[in-house]
Structure 1
């Protein structure tokens, strides 16, 4: 089979509830399209184009988007990020069609176990880079211990869907790692998302004497909880929140600016990395994004850039560009320094996963922006120096 022009496809939530998450990947494709126009493989130059399709934040539409990229655009690699239902839909469709896929911004346990995977039987076509639920627990417990004694109870505000089920799973990462640090986790059970009231959960937390809350709630649900907690006399000193609160809070449901919300940080302008494509630094990428869009930088921005880096690297190093399996094998052996940090698929927790380290951050009233993300702990990546101390709500 002859090799024609190459294509990297991306399934992006341009529209729908995940559109804010998809905006960085859309921006990165538009930014790189004029310059990432070819790859060199075994001394031969091959034309390359980048193509995107809108998932509309819907799993069914995401599956159709993969088919379009593979069947119409002839994509050799498909990229995607985020969405507890959309990302697995993209990856599973790539697995069914036999096309390499690289994804990110999703804890690896959710990526593997949420798709019914088994680390002893690796996926054949789909690859992922991110962090684990245990890594989130490490960052959060470090912040809990700065806030309260080692044995202080921590209230778990977790939904009854995939994020909540994985967080409370006895073996898959967060729960055993947090319990090992000596904190007593108070879990009243999962709530349905979106929530209408948190009064029973607040009563439970009050009775347990919790001053720390950990959650993966949407920003609207967390705003509702925070407002009702204050009304019922519960004033958490610290809230650690993953998932949606890794992005700047824009909710109209309530003011979270004084809630002391801390979160995980997987990428920031302060990270000391460079792109393998062009040497771009995180600081420069964030600045260009803000100048071009008028929007505040988002953590997925650096990971979106790294997605393209991994795809280009795979196409540059595959033994046979006419064989998609050869491209997938190139991803499986990838060890690459990217703008998101070093990615190594040869030493991950499963054969399909590369890890990136987490540090701790906290949302503060900002200068250039209404809220800004300060780095407050960096034990697992000391090269990222904190620029603020962890603050607690009063």
Structure 2
């Protein structure tokens, strides 16, 4: 890994977030992906079954809010089946909601593997969802593709060791990592004059541990002073001690990777205790990704900086559906009446890449062939290129994360907020649309 990150330090990552719990039913049988109502399925050997697991309810439900719309697009695109070589397959998607529970995520994966016999598993959004699913697939010998979590928390958080061969044969992940966050944050934070003192609030979970072990030291080497009060547990309700430290050290930059409810609690307390008045850049990740997160903060939400793993300004088209970023965002807003979110493109990129892997395999009903196709997959999704042949480690294809900011929407806008691109260090193909505004400006 480059740009100030030392890959050897990745060994400091914590263990996998997978947890075992009570066996839970997979619930409804799922919906057919690419099979019209009333159309009889072909023989089993002509049907591909794809598991799709995401958090659609619970504390992480914002990540899954747009999944239903994206799955409808995929089904429509595949209504006549998926052609692999000279053969066309019907494809079923069995989509399941983790309810933001890691134990449930693992059990849903086992049910889809053992009960439904899925040929490929797709998992999206956060270690709490992806890692338990990937662990279940690795144990069962089922190919699995995932996106939307730092790749270090996926790879090293599940037991891989720096410099050692990959322990994973069946599981693959694409998307941003510490290196991309490093480039983006250095680029973003140099857009506004500050004292370069960064108050960080990193939780004691897979994301927080990965960021603390890798991103924070790299930022320190880049000239930023990191003020870290130490890890906190998810669900903490009193942040007075952390806020007091940030005020004492006059941290003009604030950075955090919490679950959304925790950030809302912290940020309101920070305002009550006067810390927000000295903040010039409030840089959030994992929270503040979606309009609902920011709207819930009221006036405190304006000018919060974020980072986008997809934005409607991305210049790529979906390989599966053919839609552009603008078409995807506009279509969702028209269909739902809600503002577009960056998860639209992320979820669709997973379906793009999954379909490409099935097509690249010599036999999509052969799990080993699908896993081999994933290991050499090179394709372009609506979120940009995916390339497993040149990753920082085996089983990983890195992806961009770009600097963004939530600002007041212009007069006459349908929504309260506008989400603008402020820097593009990790993908210069994405156009910068606005100048970064100081949070307390």
Report the TM-score when normalising by structure 1: 0.92
20 and 115 in structure 1: CA distance in 2 versus 1, 3 angstrom threshold: same
Displacement of 1:257 after TM fit? 4.0
> Deviation string for 1:152-177 (max 9, x for gaps)?
211112223332222211xxx31232
21 and 390 in structure 1: CA distance in 2 versus 1, 3 angstrom threshold: same
Structure 2 residue corresponding to 1:311, chosen from 348, 354, 365: 354
Residue 98 of structure 1 pairs with residue 144 of structure 2: no
- Number of residues paired by the alignment? 389
Displacement of 1:252 after TM fit? 8.2
State the match for 1:219 in structure 2. 260
| In structure 1, distance between residues paired with 2:102 and 2:250 | 40
Secondary structure of 2:354's counterpart equals: helix
252 and 305 in structure 1: CA distance in 2 versus 1, 3 angstrom threshold: closer
| In structure 1, distance between residues paired with 2:274 and 2:353 | 50
Conserved 8 A contact 1:109-1:132: yes
254 and 14 in structure 1: CA distance in 2 versus 1, 3 angstrom threshold: closer
Which shifted more, 337-346 or 217-226? 217-226
> Deviation string for 1:203-251 (max 9, x for gaps)?
2112212111111133333333333333333221111111111222447
State the match for 2:430 in structure 1. 384
State the match for 1:159 in structure 2. 203
223 and 317 in structure 1: CA distance in 2 versus 1, 3 angstrom threshold: closer
42 and 237 in structure 1: CA distance in 2 versus 1, 3 angstrom threshold: same
309 and 256 in structure 1: CA distance in 2 versus 1, 3 angstrom threshold: same
Residue 108 of structure 1 pairs with residue 151 of structure 2: yes
Structure 1 residue corresponding to 2:186, chosen from 132, 141, 157: 141
Displacement of 1:253 after TM fit? 6.8
State the match for 2:14 in structure 1. none
Conserved 8 A contact 2:77-2:321: no
| In structure 2, distance between residues paired with 1:192 and 1:182 | 28
Residue 31 of structure 1 pairs with residue 73 of structure 2: yes
Displacement of 1:62 after TM fit? 1.7
259 and 309 in structure 1: CA distance in 2 versus 1, 3 angstrom threshold: closer
State the match for 2:176 in structure 1. 131
Unaligned runs of 5+ in 1: none
**For 1:233-244, what aligned pairs fall within 5 Å after superposition?**
233-234=274-275, 235=277, 236-244=279-287
Conserved 8 A contact 1:240-1:261: yes
Secondary structure of 2:371's counterpart equals: helix
| In structure 2, distance between residues paired with 1:365 and 1:20 | 21
Secondary structure of 1:92's counterpart equals: helix
Displacement of 1:258 after TM fit? 5.1
Secondary structure of 1:114's counterpart equals: helix
State the match for 1:288 in structure 2. 331
254 and 245 in structure 1: CA distance in 2 versus 1, 3 angstrom threshold: closer
| In structure 2, distance between residues paired with 1:348 and 1:42 | 27
Conserved 8 A contact 1:332-1:346: yes
| In structure 1, distance between residues paired with 2:202 and 2:435 | 27
Residue 231 of structure 1 pairs with residue 272 of structure 2: yes
| In structure 1, distance between residues paired with 2:259 and 2:60 | 12
258 and 30 in structure 1: CA distance in 2 versus 1, 3 angstrom threshold: closer
Displacement of 1:284 after TM fit? 0.5
Residue 372 of structure 1 pairs with residue 418 of structure 2: yes
Q: What's the C-alpha RMSD, in Å, of the aligned pairs?
A: 2.0
**For 1:14-25, what aligned pairs fall within 5 Å after superposition?**
14-25=56-67
Secondary structure of 2:328's counterpart equals: helix
Displacement of 1:24 after TM fit? 2.5
State the match for 2:48 in structure 1. 6
Which shifted more, 217-226 or 102-111? 217-226
State the match for 2:245 in structure 1. 204
111 and 208 in structure 1: CA distance in 2 versus 1, 3 angstrom threshold: same
Conserved 8 A contact 1:220-1:253: no
| In structure 1, distance between residues paired with 2:124 and 2:301 | 30
Unaligned runs of 5+ in 2: 1-43
